[in-house]
Amino acid sequence: MAALCSTALALALAALPSGSYAAQADPSATVPAAPSVATATSTATAQGAPSRPSPGPAPDPSLPAHALTRADAPLDNPLKGFARFYQPGGNQNAGYPHSLTWSYFGLSEVMNDSSDCAHYDWDVLDDALDESASYGNQTALRFYIEYPGGSGTHPANAVPPCFAGHVANRTNSYWNTTSPDYDSAYLLDALKDFIAAFGARYDNDPRIGFIHLGLVGLWGEWHTWPYDTDTSGDSYPNLMPTDAHGAEIIKAYDNAFPHTKLEVRYPESGGAAANSLPAIGYHDDSFCFREGSPLAGVTLPASMGGASYSQLQKALEQGVENRWTTASMGGEVRPEIQSTAFDNWPGGSGAVDNMKACLELEHTTWKMNEGSANYDPNNAKVGAAVRQMGYDLTVDHAYFQDTAQGSTKVGVRLTNNGVAPFYYPWTVSLGLKDPSGNVVKSWATPWDLRKAMPVKIRAFPDWGLGADPTYLDYGYPQYFDTSVDLSGVSAGTYQLVMKAKNPLEDVSASAKKLRFANTGQHADGWLALGAMTVGSGTGTSHQYEAEAPGNTLTGTALRADCAGCSGGSKVGYVGNGATLTFTGVDGGSGGTRTVTLQYASAETRSATVRANGGTSRSVSFPPTADWATTGTTTLSLDLNAGTGNTITVANSSGWAPDIDRITVT
């Protein structure tokens, strides 16, 4: 919903959608309105670049580093990307991949007792939430009281019947809606009681992703245009509540929902009451649209060609342009441009503004986009935009002992390449998968994904930090570790895995899993971190340092210091004919043994590995963070019985990685 600086222009652009349009897109997003007095008289100023958060702890140098490879995350990761409109009985997983469903609800559908305002019938909401959950989707929602023409499945007039005789009604003749007296003490008490009951029942409900505060004005959008606070130049009376009364509703929501993420349409709503409440985000439902003559953006600020009433201009004027650091930014891609919004990604054309700038500066997590039903899931431009929205989490390294027993420490380092943090404290677990893919043991960790802030943010031109676009370093790769107890796990080789559990999984077997942007990410939500051998405690594993004096080095191979390597040393310059041979390797009773090579290499390299002059095995070594950070790779070799085995690392035509040690199990 974009605000216009003149009523004349608003009248020229406003048009009520006809037919079934309301079921296809949010009609309020096409309706302009005049700027509020709060905007015109605001004395707040832009907040400026946010202070960088703490970098957090460094990886434990005693743990071997295992490099993981990045890959594109799926398009339907939970709580981000596009939301489709709820259609009862419709296939919610049709069209472009998504994990959110959007729906309105009339207040009278819940407050439906004519004699008791404290009676709440939640069936209409529960039915919708359950249906969406059955498709694996979380719901974003809003309650309203007046909806021009109704939604098709929800009423136009949603004034609760218990208001009759207690609350005066007015007529918005432009939209033909019944507008209750939002300043009525009876109404305000009833709304606050409803919000308290709403929160008591649904706060932290895993079926709900985001709640728009709603309730006030047309479509619950906190405006009653043209019967609004801007009475200059028109004869329409103001039907909006006072700022003080609007603030009561905003604060009631903040009190009732300490866990579920909340959003309000405008930074100045209710006298800017939400601006001092860091848990409440904003909801731009004319996202990245340009209107008027000449064209002006209704999302980007005036410094980037935006209108004086644009979403981010208001945020700058209210000093809340960095609210995304604590609360979500939702809304809707303006319906008129949904079919073409990403055709010119990363920029825009005509009525589509600079889409990449809109996403980056607003720090968009999700948007209603019914037009996405017709998008090609393989459209690279749309995919790039969706993956940038909200969080984009990659685990670049895992840290653990290749062979362990009893209590052992495991760490990971993850990076957020999206535009916003992950906003919920979902439980992160570690686990072990057996060779058949079964999780045989798991451990909950205290790790908090919300700490992984975007590593880069885009500066507003208004901050005066350089030409647009200027990108600032912001978040850091976040390192987490914890100890796990391997007691009771049978000796053998497992896959160490990690998962952030969507609480919706406790409600629906179809719940969309949070998936990391890594090649080792499985559809079941578990991310492969690397192979771990669990020892039996009888000394079946042996480690051999590359720099040990008994080993044989040929050609250019030499021993070198390495702060991140076991023993503080490694062997480098192996390859191009130079070799490293481990001697005195114990093969136990003989047969196939698991050999884990710990190495350091700032680039992808390869080598051949062979035992006792047998067949050489070609091995690829993914890059590690640098030449002093180690990773591991594992292969199987046939060894003879006893301690007379040799294992040789070579590369006849290129450089091998630097070798730290091997572990034979």
Handedness of CA 366, 143, 352, 374 (dihedral sign): positive
For residues 107 and 155, what is the distance between their CA atoms, to the nearest angstrom? Answer: 9
Cα angle, residue 518 at apex, residues 517 and 522 outer, rounded to 5°: 100
Three-class SS state of 211 = strand
Asked if residue 160 has a cis previous peptide bond (ω within 30° of 0), the answer is no
CB 665 within 8 A of CB 588: no
Burial class, 7, CB count within 10 angstroms (exposed 0-12 / middle 13-18 / buried 19+): buried
The model's pLDDT over 512-559, given as tens digits with 9 standing for 90+, comes to 999 999 999 999 999 999 999 998 544 467 889 999 999 999 999 999
Closest CA to 563 of 44, 93, 56, 58: 58
The model's pLDDT over 558-595, given as tens digits with 9 standing for 90+, comes to 999 999 998 899 999 999 999 999 999 988 888 888 89
b/e burial code for range 629-661 (CB count within 10 A of at least 16 → b): bbbbbbeebebbeeeebbbbbbbeeebbbbbbb
Closest CA to 208 of 143, 158, 146, 255: 143
Looking at residue 30, its pLDDT comes to: 54
CB 371 within 8 A of CB 98: no
Helices (H), 273-335: 311-318
CB 221 within 8 A of CB 168: no
The model's pLDDT over 412-456, given as tens digits with 9 standing for 90+, comes to 999 999 999 999 999 999 999 999 999 999 999 999 999 999 999
The model's pLDDT over 86-132, given as tens digits with 9 standing for 90+, comes to 999 999 999 999 999 999 999 999 999 999 999 999 999 999 999 99
Closest CA to 261 of 360, 332, 365: 365
- Range 14-22 contact pairs with CB under 8 angstroms and sequence separation of 24 or more: 14/225, 16/148, 16/149, 16/175, 20/152, 22/149, 22/150, 22/151, 22/152
At 620, the pLDDT band (50, 70, 90 cuts) reads very high
Looking at residue 567, its pLDDT comes to: 84
CB 499 within 8 A of CB 431: yes
Looking at residue 199, its pLDDT comes to: 98
Looking at residue 27, its pLDDT comes to: 56
Structure tokens at 542: 């042996």
Burial class, 333, CB count within 10 angstroms (exposed 0-12 / middle 13-18 / buried 19+): buried
Asked if residue 622 has a cis previous peptide bond (ω within 30° of 0), the answer is no
Looking at residue 231, its pLDDT comes to: 72
When pLDDT is averaged across residues 60-64 and rounded to a whole number, the result is 87
| pLDDT of 501 strictly over 50 | yes
Percentage helix, strand, coil for the chain under 3-state DSSP, each rounded to 5: 20, 30, 50
| pLDDT of 45 strictly over 90 | no
At 26, the pLDDT band (50, 70, 90 cuts) reads low
| pLDDT of 9 strictly over 50 | no
Looking at residue 536, its pLDDT comes to: 56
Closest CA to 85 of 121, 132, 126, 122: 132
Structure tokens at 35: 């700027």
| pLDDT of 38 strictly over 70 | no
Looking at residue 13, its pLDDT comes to: 30
| pLDDT of 165 strictly over 90 | yes
- Angle between helices 355-362 and 380-388 in degrees, nearest 10: 10
Other residues' Cβ atoms within 10 Å of the Cβ of residue 338: 25
Looking at residue 14, its pLDDT comes to: 30
Q: Above pLDDT 90, what percent of the chain?
A: 84
For residues 621 and 578, what is the distance between their CA atoms, to the nearest angstrom? Answer: 17
At 19, the pLDDT band (50, 70, 90 cuts) reads very low
Looking at residue 588, its pLDDT comes to: 81
- Indicate the pTM of the whole model: 0.79
For residues 31 and 21, what is the distance between their CA atoms, to the nearest angstrom? Answer: 14
**Most confident by average pLDDT, 227-241, 362-376, 532-546:** 362-376
The model's pLDDT over 138-151, given as tens digits with 9 standing for 90+, comes to 999 999 999 999 98
Closest CA to 86 of 386, 305, 370: 370
The model's pLDDT over 287-345, given as tens digits with 9 standing for 90+, comes to 999 999 999 999 999 999 999 999 999 999 999 999 999 999 999 999 999 999 999 99
Q: What is the mean pLDDT of the chain?
A: 91
Where would I find the beta strands (DSSP E) of 60-167? 65-67, 81-85, 100-106, 138-144
For residues 647 and 636, what is the distance between their CA atoms, to the nearest angstrom? Answer: 12
For residues 48 and 321, what is the distance between their CA atoms, to the nearest angstrom? Answer: 8
Strand 261-264 versus strand 208-212 pairing type: parallel
For residues 342 and 288, what is the distance between their CA atoms, to the nearest angstrom? Answer: 11
